[in-house]
Amino acid sequence: MIIVCGEALIDLVPAGAENTWRAVPGGGPANTAVALARLGTPARLLCRLSRDGFGRRLRDHLTTNGVDLSLAAEAAEPTTLAVVDLDEHGSADFRFYMERTADWQWTPGELPASLPPGTRALHVGSLASVLPPGADVLRSWAARHRGEATVVYDVNVRPAVLPGREPYLERVEAWLTAAHVVKASEEDLRWLHPERHPLDTARTWLADHGLDLVLVTRGAAGAVALRADGPPVEAAGVPVRVVDTVGAGDAFTGAFLHATADRGMGLADALGYAVRAAALTCTREGAAPPSRAEVDAHR
Q: What is the mean pLDDT of residues 70-76?
A: 96
At residue 154, does pLDDT exceed 70? yes
| Phi, then psi, of 27 in degrees rounded to 5 | 100, 125
Least confident of 17-21, 85-89, 230-234: 85-89
Q: How confident is the model at residue 88 (pLDDT cuts 50, 70, 90)?
A: low
Question: Of 16, 78, 88, nearest to 48 (Cα)?
Answer: 78
Provide the β-strand partners of residue 21. 14
Least confident of 65-74, 75-84, 85-94: 85-94
Mean pLDDT calculated for residue range 1-29: 87
H/E stretch holding 74: strand 73-75
- Grade residue 17 by pLDDT with cuts at 50, 70 and 90: low
Output the pLDDT for position 87.
65
The mean pLDDT of 97-110, rounded to a whole number, is: 93
Q: Give yes or no for a cis peptide into 133 (omega within 30° of 0).
A: yes
76-90, 133-147, 227-241, 264-278 — which is least confidently predicted? 76-90
Instruction: Give the lowest-confidence range in 10-14, 53-57, 61-65, 206-210.
Output: 10-14
Statement: the pTM of the whole predicted model exceeds 0.85: yes
Q: What is the pLDDT of residues 156-195, one digit of tens each?
A: 998 888 888 999 999 999 999 999 999 999 999 999 999 9
Domain at 2-6+29-74+104-297: CATH code: 3.40.1190.20
Portion of the chain with pLDDT greater than 70, in percent: 96
Terminal Cα-to-Cα distance of the chain (whole angstroms): 26
Residue 259: per-residue pLDDT: 97
